[in-house]
Amino acid sequence: MIRFNHIMFLFMLLFWVVVAGFTVPSLVLGVVLAAAISWYNRDLTDSLIQDKWYFSGKKVMMLLLYTASLLWQIVLANIDLARIVLNPRLPIQPGVVRFNPGLKTDLSKTLLANSITLTPGTLAIDIEEDEFTVHFLTLASAQNVVEWPLIHWLRKMEEA
């Protein structure tokens, strides 16, 4: 079985290779840093995941699809935000929305909150029990976050 710390190590190493390039000294440094960070944060990652809950191959694949979907959502949100900023009338309607995405695990809630914050035009302000509080820049972004396809992916990962 693959533990979450192993997945975190691989993602950090992949990110390091993309950012720093693929040379032997850079790869060695990336392995050392990714291993050290994974080891240092093992208690945090274990507390986010239920006791003895391991990632299966299916969950790893779903996490990769979630990441690809998140990147696409970030691109779409950047385009929407650029349209708003470049519009001379600057059509913003900021506000706050509260909603319950129906997620059960702390890991899923953490992933959703971070994904919301990474997406331009939205910011996860608070999570209390099962209710998320999100600041939005436009009413459309508020509607999009409540009906976000990524929530569906997280629910599927919880069931798998």
Per-residue pLDDT tens over the stretch 47-58: 666 544 556 777
Label residue 30 by pLDDT band (50, 70, 90): very high
Which helix (H) or strand (E) segment holds residue 28: the answer is helix 24-40
Reported as a single tens digit per residue, the pLDDT across 78-111 is 998 898 889 878 888 889 999 999 888 888 888 8
Query: What is the spatial distance between Cα 122 and Cα 124, in angstroms, rounded to a whole number?
Result: 7
Q: Does domain 57-160 have CATH number 3.30.70?
A: yes
Q: At which residue do the structure tokens 């929407």 appear?
A: 80
Q: What is the pLDDT of residue 2?
A: 62
**CA pair distance 115, 151, nearest whole angstrom:** 10
- The helix or strand, by DSSP H or E, that contains position 127, with its residue range, turns out to be strand 122-128
Residues in Cβ contact with 35 at an 8 Å cutoff, skipping those fewer than 6 apart: 9
pTM comes to 0.67
Phi-psi label, residue 90: left if phi above 0, alpha if psi -120 to 50, beta otherwise:
left
Comparing C-alpha atoms, which of 74, 143, 79, 84 is closest to residue 114?
74
CA distance 42 to 27: 22
**In the chain, ranges of CATH 3.30.70 domains:** 57-160
